[in-house]
Amino acid sequence: MTVAVSPASARIEQLRSLLLRGRALIFDVDGTLAETEELHRQAFNEAFARAGMDWHWGRTVYKDLLRVAGGKERIRAFDQGRKSARPLLDGDIADLHRIKTGCFADLLAKQGCPLRPGVHALISVAMARGQRLAIATTTSRENIDALLSAALGRNWSDIFDDVVAGDEVPRKKPAPDVYLEALSRLRLSGSDCLAIEDSANGLIAALHAEIPVLITRSLYFQDDDFTEALLVLDDLTELPEIYSA
């Protein structure tokens, strides 16, 4: 008698198979490798103050703005929402975002931002298995370097076969561009890889690149719709239960 395999157990089997034998794990950065969005929010507010602007993004406003991937795009969305008589020019936005990126690096240096629980362990296990590692993120290479130099050491980039940052592709998440570029550089097909994400934008981006997704919930995206993910965890320390189940 064949037992109908419920989608849930089929997904768990697929996840276990990818964790054990997948060709590559492709990590999102913000909210996945580390819980960075509060530092980003502080960096935006410090940049606004340094630019003499009266903008201040509280958590509620920022949660809404996070539906827009990309710091520059987020500034533009907020400015457009204000229906100002003199909207910011692209050059103003780029300058403001450059200040923000500097503030983010300063805040990281002062406050630090550790890898999320279970991230380092998964990276180590994957490396020991000979699996390749990559990054596909909306943020900038500068931010990735500031975060991972502190968390993984100066030679952090030796751990990752490929790092695709948001400004290196035409469209940011939920468009699949960063994931398609990562697959192209890895010369792998999506079904041989596993994406690890924290947001609906990231889930959609990876799925549109035909990469199965493991979600680890983060601060700002607790109530996003993750229906299409293989599994949703609070964090990666829950993984061993998957292996051993």
Q: Which of residues 102-131 bind ligand XBP (CB under 6 A)?
A: none
Minimal distance in Å, beta carbon 138 to ligand XBP? 3
Residue 204's SS3 state is helix
118 and 32 in contact (C-beta within 8 Å)? no
Min dist. Cβ of residue 39 to ligand XBP (A): 9
Min CB(238)–ligand XBP separation in Å: 20
177 binds, among Mg ion, ligand XBP, none (CB under 5 to 8 A by kind): none
Confirm or reject binding of residue 45 to ligand XBP (CB under 6 A): no
Q: How far is CA 147 from the centre of its chain?
A: 12
Give the shortest CB-178-to-Mg ion separation in angstroms. Answer: 11
By the rule CB under 6 A, 176 interacts with ligand XBP: no
139 binds ligand XBP (CB under 6 A): yes
Can you give 94-159 as a three-state secondary structure string?
HHHHHHHHHHHHHHHHHHCCCECCCHHHHHHHHHHCCCEEEEECCCCHHHHHHHHHHHHCCCHHHH
Q: Does 137 bind ligand XBP (CB under 6 A)?
A: yes
Whichever of 26 and 69 has its CB closer to ligand XBP, that residue is 69
- Single out the residue of 138, 206, 213, 214 in contact with ligand XBP (rule: CB under 6 A): 138
Letters for 182-201 (x = contact with Mg ion by CB under 5 A, - = none) are ----------------xx--
Describe the strand order of the beta sheet including 193-197 as a list of residue ranges. 162-164, 132-136, 24-27, 193-197, 213-216, 231-233
Tell me: does residue 35 bind Mg ion (CB under 5 A): no
In angstroms, the CA 175 to CA 184 distance is 15
69 contact choice in ligand XBP, Mg ion, none (CB below 5 to 8 Å, kind-dependent)? ligand XBP
Could you tell me which of 136, 169, 49 has the C-alpha nearest to residue 99? 49
Quickly list DSSP for 37-95.
HHHHHHHHHHHHHHTT------HHHHHHHTTS-SHHHHHHHHHHHTT-SSPPPHHHHHH
Of the residues 173, 177, 181, 190, which one makes contact with ligand XBP according to CB under 6 A: 173
Residues that bind ligand XBP (CB under 6 A): 28-31, 37, 40, 69-71, 137-140, 143, 166, 173, 199, 202
What residues make contact with Mg ion under the rule CB under 5 A? 28, 30-31, 198-199
